[in-house]
Structure formats: structure tokens, C-alpha cells
Chains A and B, each alone.
Chain A
Amino acid sequence: MAQSKGFKTANRRYLQAFWPLMAVYVGTVAVTSFFIDMDTASTAVRVASAAATTLPLAGVLWVIMRLIGETDEYTRLRQLTAMARGGAISAALATFVGFLQIYGAVDTVPVFFLGPCFFLAYGFSYGAACFGKSV
């Protein structure tokens, strides 16, 4: 784990990386959605588009991990707790939806929703820790 840089420095480094990555993500989604016809695009273009859209989000996950390594110990504990809760909720939900599919109760659900589900659960868990009881 990275050496702790203190709360303020870690937060500043996180935000300095987070917003540019989100801007790249939004830009990539806009370009792939509005300027590339996926119905007629080659497989290579489709794969490249998916990779280009995923990379900024992978970068966001990396800067979150960097923040966890660099911030103060209590914030690190809260971030890791929220991330664990987000992962547990996502895994439970994915299992439930998986069984729904196996039992024929629902049609195929795109695996794409797993990512947003994790970020939502992670965000809510962290927000609950901020506004509710401390971990």
C-alpha cells in the first residue's frame, strides 16, 4: 500500500485525476454513441469502442484505490468498508438475477449493469457512513 500522504493531499490528488478521467469517459461515450454506428461497425471498431469507454472507468477505480492508500487511516477504513459493502451487495444482486435467469423468471439481463450497481451501492454505503453512524 502506498505511503499515506495525509487527508488533504490525498483528496487533492484524487480530484485532480478523477474529473479529467470522467471528462474523458463522457467524451468517449458521446463519440461512440453519436458518431459510430455500432450496427454496421466492424468487430474491431466495436471492441476498440468498448475498450476506450472502459479505460477511463478503470482509471477511476485506480485513483480510488490510490486515494485509499494515501488518505488518513479513518477515511481509509470508511472507504474500504463502503467498497466491501458495495461489492457484497453487487454480488448478492448478481446471484439473485442469475438464478432468476436460470429459473426462467426473467430474460437475459445485460452484465453491463453490474458496474453501475457496484458504484451505486459503494456510493450509498459511503454516504450512509458519512451522514449516519461512524464505522
Chain B
Amino acid sequence: MKNIIRALRAERGWSQQELADKLDVSRQSVNAIETGKYDPSLPLAFAIARLFGRSLEELFDDGTSLADAAE
């Protein structure tokens, strides 16, 4: 799933390790999420959203618009 976590992290000048420490996950987890190789669970996704002060929809894009999903 595409996301803007790498961009938000870069805005704040955090390394992957620093973000991993804030979320209490491994650096490899952050890398896998940023590159779209791994989709986080809802609790972790909410933790990331809270950390960046964004909504889940702002952070993640599954390629389906809300209008498409409603059909």
C-alpha cells in the first residue's frame, strides 16, 4: 500500500531508526512500511497517524477512492 510516511519523516528530519524508536518497532519495520512491502496492522497504523498528526486516509493510499469503494 502506498503511503507518505517517508516524506513526513524527511520533513521532520528523522532517520528510520528514530521513527522506529518512537513507534517501538524495528528499523526494518519502518523500512518495510515506507517501501510498501508491509502493510501495518490497524493499531500500528493509528500509532503512526497520531505521531504525524494525520488521518489514516492522508497517510495511506490503497488505490481505491472513497467513491469507488462505495459502489
Contact = CB atoms under 8 A, between A and B. Distances in A.
Interface of A: 6-9, 71-75, 77-78, 130, 133-135
Nearest to A5: B24
Interface of A is mostly: helix
The 3 lowest CB-CB distance pairs between A and B, nearest first, are A6-B24, A74-B29, A72-B25
B20 to A, nearest CB: 7
B32 A7 contact: no
B15 interface: no
Contacts of A133: 37
Interface in B18-64: 20-21, 24-26, 28-29, 31-33, 35, 37-38, 40-41, 44
Contacts of B41: 73
Nearest to B27: A7
Given A134-B37, A134-B38, A74 B28 contact: yes
Contacts of A71: 26
A135 B37 CA distance: 7
21 contacts: A7-B25, A7-B26, A7-B29, A8-B21, A8-B24, A71-B26, A72-B24, A72-B25, A73-B40, A73-B44, A74-B28, A74-B38, A75-B25, A75-B28, A75-B29, A77-B38, A78-B28, A130-B28, A134-B35, A134-B37, A134-B38
Nearest to A11: B26
Contacts of A8: 21, 24
A54 B41 CA distance: 37
Nearest to A9: B24
A40 B40 CA distance: 58
Contact of A134 (B20, B21, B32, B40): B32
A75 B24 CA distance: 12
A34 B20 CA distance: 47
